[in-house]
């Protein structure tokens, strides 16, 4: 079929999508349904996963055939008794059989042809199975993004009358001797974009294939300058880099544009995830409107290479609704339990608000009771409403060198408040302990390396430090105790570094790109020392 001329039909794509999603939009809007049925829906996902995988090697080893007739709590108890919680390294033997030898029916029926490569903090590069069933799971989640966008007031017909820019990783895939494909998850998903959606997709195949991120940003910016961009999807940190570069290029070409709103006047939606948006909000607003307004609609998503977890369903609310009926079974383990041999694990209808949990997944890619590693807290739980959570950190990303018990969320909130109170615009940042050294007169404490434009006055930096310290105290009683009268820990050290230092450090590690994030904190100094060394070399 020959596609019709662009412009005559593009608005019809959104209209058709709106019609196709009408029943789903109505269901997602029915809070009572999700409040009542989330637990039952999750039980169905587990039943299906066990039924599909009971004849695999993993299923036989863990007695899944004996679970197929069970339901409800009986199924859950038996599944947990026979299937221990695992981290990636304990899956390595199965992964090797599935990916390196193309062995069928190992953890999931058939041969898994596609593999998402992602960076691990302790296990190096990790390879996640992306089965056809997992691709269907991701597709259903992507449709929910647009359903929720409609619920938030986005006109889908108007949105699809322009272009949608996906700020993903390289779509170039490595193919092994068995024909199995490996690459960024975006590289595995992008080829699924067919006409007519391909007509609204940016940046196009040639640029999407690029792996050099600096060249890719420039190519994206150049390709989008004269396009009617109406939505952007990607990390807030990398979106900001692209927005800034696009404006620079437009001015270099003689266009009188000061803000992104002037460059892309029809832009209505920013889909973002991967990093906390709050620290980036002032800079995005500055680029978008000169600081007065934010992008008209924003929708936060919680995707992972292993599975799609949750997405924002209410405007202006940080809670993300769990994807309870897309084929993935979720469990939540209290942080203090995660390293125990038989930890307590709870379903989404049995968690408690305000408690920190580690996310554990069972997926239609062949991962069973897999530790995702993210730490979340629930704002809403059934039967009060849909299960809605917030990401507050990683269970291996924390600072507790002196009993201060700081997590990623504490650092991110403190940086955002400090920047606001000190009237400073900040970029990327990371925190680490300062170990005492009596010989040099160094006391125990905390250091924050943060990107701040040169020329920031010393009094503003002092206000930032004090506000950062105060915000940590307000959030964490252990930190407050250690800081009382400066006895246990000295005041924090704030080390300003030039913008771009973090990305230069990531580039030096081969981790530059839309799929990679800057660690916000660590219980060691390896990261911060390497970043500071990179920053010093750039000055």
**Signed CA dihedral, 143, 230, 235, 424: sign only:** negative
> How many other β-carbons are positioned within 10 Å of the β-carbon of residue 29?
14
> How many other β-carbons are positioned within 10 Å of the β-carbon of residue 15?
16
- At 4 the pLDDT is 43
For 277-304, the DSSP string reads: SGGGHHHHHHHHHTTS---SEEEEEEE-
> Which tokens hold the place of 486?
């400066």
Quick check: 345 and 85 in contact, CB under 8 A?
yes
- Phi, psi dihedrals of residue 263, rounded to the nearest 5°: -75, -45
Question: pLDDT tens digits for the chain (539 residues)?
Answer: 344 445 555 668 888 889 999 999 999 999 999 999 999 999 999 999 999 999 999 999 999 999 989 999 999 999 999 999 999 999 999 999 999 999 999 999 999 999 998 865 444 578 999 999 999 999 999 999 999 999 999 999 999 999 999 987 777 789 999 999 998 888 788 777 776 677 889 998 888 888 777 888 899 999 999 999 999 999 888 888 899 999 999 999 999 999 999 999 999 999 998 777 887 888 899 999 998 899 999 999 999 999 999 999 999 888 999 999 999 999 999 998 998 888 999 999 999 998 999 999 999 999 999 999 899 999 999 999 999 999 988 887 888 888 788 888 899 999 999 999 999 999 999 999 998 887 788 888 999 999 998 788 889 999 999 999 999 999 988 898 888 877 778 999 999 999 989 888 988 887 766 556 788 998 889 999 999 999 988 76
Torsion of CA 255, 168, 279, 228, to 10 degrees: 30
Distances (CA, A) of 80 to 153, 307, 528: 42, 20, 39
> How many other β-carbons are positioned within 10 Å of the β-carbon of residue 54?
18
- 174-175 β-sheet, strand order: 125-130, 114-119, 181-183, 174-175
> Which tokens hold the place of 182?
């490996």
Of the candidates 201, 241, 163, the one whose C-alpha atom is nearest the C-alpha of residue 513 is 241
**Interhelix angle for 236-252 vs 213-224, to 10°?**
60
Residue 157 and residue 153: Cα distance in Å, rounded? 12
- Relative to beta strand 426-434, strand 493-497 is unpaired
For 174-202, the DSSP string reads: EE-TT--EEE-HHHHHGGG--TTGGGTEE
- At 514 the pLDDT is 57
The helices-and-strands tally (H runs, E runs) of the chain is: 19, 20
Residue 280 and residue 427: Cα distance in Å, rounded? 7
Residues β-bridged to residue 442: 437
Nearby residues of 109 by Cβ (< 8 Å), 6 or more positions away: 52, 53, 55, 56
- Relative to beta strand 201-202, strand 398-399 is unpaired
- Phi, psi dihedrals of residue 325, rounded to the nearest 5°: -130, 30
- 297-303 β-sheet, strand order: 201-202, 163-166, 229-233, 269-273, 297-303, 308-312, 320-322, 388-394, 370-380, 357-362, 329-334
Quick check: 387 and 38 in contact, CB under 8 A?
yes
For 39-106, the DSSP string reads: HHHHHHHHHHHHHHHTTSHHHHHTTGGGTTT--HHHHHHHHHHHS--B-HHHHHHHHIIIIIS--SSS
Quick check: 427 and 395 in contact, CB under 8 A?
no
Residue 296 and residue 268: Cα distance in Å, rounded? 5
The CA-to-CA distance between both ends of the chain, in Å, stands at 57
Of the candidates 288, 303, 191, the one whose C-alpha atom is nearest the C-alpha of residue 239 is 288
> Which tokens hold the place of 83?
């299937």
> Which tokens hold the place of 243?
């927005």
Residue 396 and residue 5: Cα distance in Å, rounded? 52
Residue 166 and residue 190: Cα distance in Å, rounded? 9
If you compute the radius of gyration of the chain from its CA atoms, what whole number of angstroms results?
24
């Amino acid at each position: 079929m020959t596609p019709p001329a662009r412009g005559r039909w593009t608005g019809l794509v959104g209209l058709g999508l709106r019609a196709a999603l009408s029943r789903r939009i109505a269901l997602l809007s029915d809070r009572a349904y999700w409040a009542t049925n989330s637990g039952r829906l999750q039980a169905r996902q587990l039943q299906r996963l066990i039924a599909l995988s009971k004849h695999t090697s993993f299923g036989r080893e863990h007695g899944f055939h004996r679970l197929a007739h069970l339901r409800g709590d009986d199924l859950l108890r038996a599944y947990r008794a026979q299937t221990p919680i695992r981290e990636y390294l304990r899956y390595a033997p199965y992964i090797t059989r599935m990916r390196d030898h193309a062995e069928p029916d190992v953890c999931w029926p058939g041969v898994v042809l596609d593999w998402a490569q992602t960076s691990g903090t302790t296990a190096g590069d990790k390879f996640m199975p992306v089965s056809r069933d997992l691709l269907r799971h991701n597709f259903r989640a992507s449709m929910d993004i647009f359903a929720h966008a409609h619920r938030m007031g986005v006109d889908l017909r108007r949105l699809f009358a322009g272009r949608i820019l996906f700020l993903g990783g390289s779509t170039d895939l490595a193919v092994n001797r068995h024909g199995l494909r490996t690459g960024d998850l975006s590289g595995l998903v992008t080829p699924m974009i067919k006409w007519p959606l391909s007509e609204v997709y940016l940046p196009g195949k040639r640029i999407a294939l690029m792996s050099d991120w600096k060249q890719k940003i420039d190519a994206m910016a150049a390709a989008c300058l004269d396009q009617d961009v109406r939505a952007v999807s990607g990390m807030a940190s990398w979106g900001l880099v692209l927005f800034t570069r696009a404006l620079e290029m437009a001015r270099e070409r003689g266009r009188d544009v000061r803000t992104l709103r002037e460059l892309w006047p029809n832009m209505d939606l920013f889909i973002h995830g991967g990093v906390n948006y709050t620290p980036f909000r002032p800079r995005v607003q500055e680029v978008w409107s000169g600081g007065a307004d934010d992008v008209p609609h924003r929708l936060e998503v919680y995707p992972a290479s292993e599975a799609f977890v949750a997405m924002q369903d209410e405007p202006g609310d940080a809670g993300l609704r769990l994807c309870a009926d897309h084929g993935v079974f979720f469990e939540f383990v209290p942080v203090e339990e995660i390293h125990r041999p038989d930890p307590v694990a709870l379903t989404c209808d049995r968690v408690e608000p305000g408690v920190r949990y580690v996310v554990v997944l069972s997926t239609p890619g062949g991962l069973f009771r897999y530790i995702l590693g993210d730490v979340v807290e629930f704002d809403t739980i059934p039967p009060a409403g849909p299960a809605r959570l917030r990401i507050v950190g990683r269970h291996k990303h924390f600072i507790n060198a002196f009993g201060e018990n700081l997590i990623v969320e504490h650092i991110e909130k403190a940086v955002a408040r400090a920047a606001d109170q000190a009237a400073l615009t900040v970029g990327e940042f990371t925190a680490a302990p300062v170990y005492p050294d009596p010989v040099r007169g160094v006391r125990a404490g905390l250091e924050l390396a943060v990107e701040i434009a040169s020329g920031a006055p010393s009094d503003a930096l002092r206000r930032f430090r004090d506000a950062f310290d105060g915000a940590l105290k307000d959030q964490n009683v252990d930190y407050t105790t250690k800081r009382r009268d400066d006895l246990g820990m000295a005041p924090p050290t704030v080390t300003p570094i030039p913008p771009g230092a973090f990305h230069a450090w990531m580039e030096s590690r081969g981790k530059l790109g839309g799929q990679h994030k800057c660690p916000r904190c660590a219980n060691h100094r390896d990261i911060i020392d390497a970043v500071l060394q990179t920053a010093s070399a750039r000055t």
